[in-house]
Structure 1
Amino acid sequence: MKKIVIAIDGFSSNGKSTMAKSLAKHIGYIYIDSGAMYRAVTLYCIQNSFFDGEELDEKRLQDNIKNIKIDFRLNDKTSLPETFLNGQNVEQQIRTMEVSAKVSRVSAVPFVRHAMVALQQEMGKAKGIVMDGRDIGTVVFPDAEMKIFVTADPQIRAQRRFDELRAKGDTKTTFEEVFENIKSRDYMDQNREESPLKQADDAILLDNSHMTIDEQMQWLVNKFKQITTSNE
């Protein structure tokens, strides 16, 4: 069967990464978390004091962008890819609220997006990948054979993110903080000048507000089968 590129875009905290990982594992494709790449750059900025409050020192970031090396390595126990920043496993660090609060600011910087898009396109040359993010179907892989745009009610997304943080041991972050973060990220993602979040004209809309993980997976697998069968 001919391999394709699967692009999954959508709002934050709607389960894109989980569904993309599961789909890739199910069909034997490679999963690439583009959002993790921007989170890794954000973590680098925090670690190196490029932020002064909410202000980002873009000049220092631009001077250092070539020093930021990001790659994904499979965890032997989970068989899932984890994010490495300059050789260090940062999979847990990039999922904190501190990074979540600043990632939209970093990902809106044009030279950051250009660097990440070039890296993502290089990763996808051989096809047989599932990549999720904000601009995969519109900018990174506009010719992707399968494009999905995921949405869900903001309150439901906030609850999912809140539950995820609690499961990881975060007992300090409140639901209200998570909800405000999601609303803020939605606005910034949709209104940034560089590669704003939007549904590609040929993307299939998936509202997963009231879908179970199993229902989601079945929906995705059915779409994959339809597309790969019609492309043969």
Structure 2
Amino acid sequence: MQSPASSPRHTNGSNGHSTSTISEQDLLRRTSRVLRQLYLREQRWIETRTPSQLSDLTQQGQLPLNEQLHYGEIAFVLLRLKPCAIIDFATEDKQLLNDYVQRVIQPTVGELNALGLLAKKMTKGHQQRRAESNSAWYPREFRLACARIEGQLASPEVPSWTGAYALYDEMWDESRDWARANLLDAKKGSISEDELARGLDYPGSIPKTNEDMQLIVPVSYLGRIK
């Protein structure tokens, strides 16, 4: 049994309302639960698609369904391992994408941002720690945003990014500024592959020649969700 001084929950005698404190480990566990819930939301959403919709999502079976999941990308942005993530599917059916963002991504962003407020209070005063923007430590102050790309934006390998969504951290200058300047500026009509690689943190370098293409080795990230 914990003593009253060490208990994570106590009662405010003046109004009878219960207030609580939370440790860094508790906040980390809560964040992990939200990310697991995101994974389950994605799975449930995919499982409820029609055969025609699944065909569109996989380009008539050319792409595996597990490549349509975004929970890892969102976790990377949250941990500042990458400045930005693009939420999109390899289909022209943007209504399908809009439904996915509304039912899967937006609820998760809301839940994570509630934890971001707790992290802000917890890390208050740790200016030097917060300034280490490229370090993958947590908890840290953050506020994720998921904004639709409205402009007629294209890149050399993608004829249109219009209607896709940019997910970024408004509390991280590099993330916010890059997303707004390169994806969300309606006046910007094109973006280079090198600039995309910088903002989306593609590993290695973009191939420039046929010889470079021959050296590409496909890799996958493995994640375990209990």
Superposition TM-score, scaled by structure 1 size: 0.27
Higher relative contact order (CA 8 A, sep 6+): 1
Rg: which structure is higher? 2
Between Structure 1 and Structure 2, the one with more strand by share is: 1
Superposition TM-score, scaled by structure 2 size: 0.27
Between Structure 1 and Structure 2, the one with more helix by share is: 1
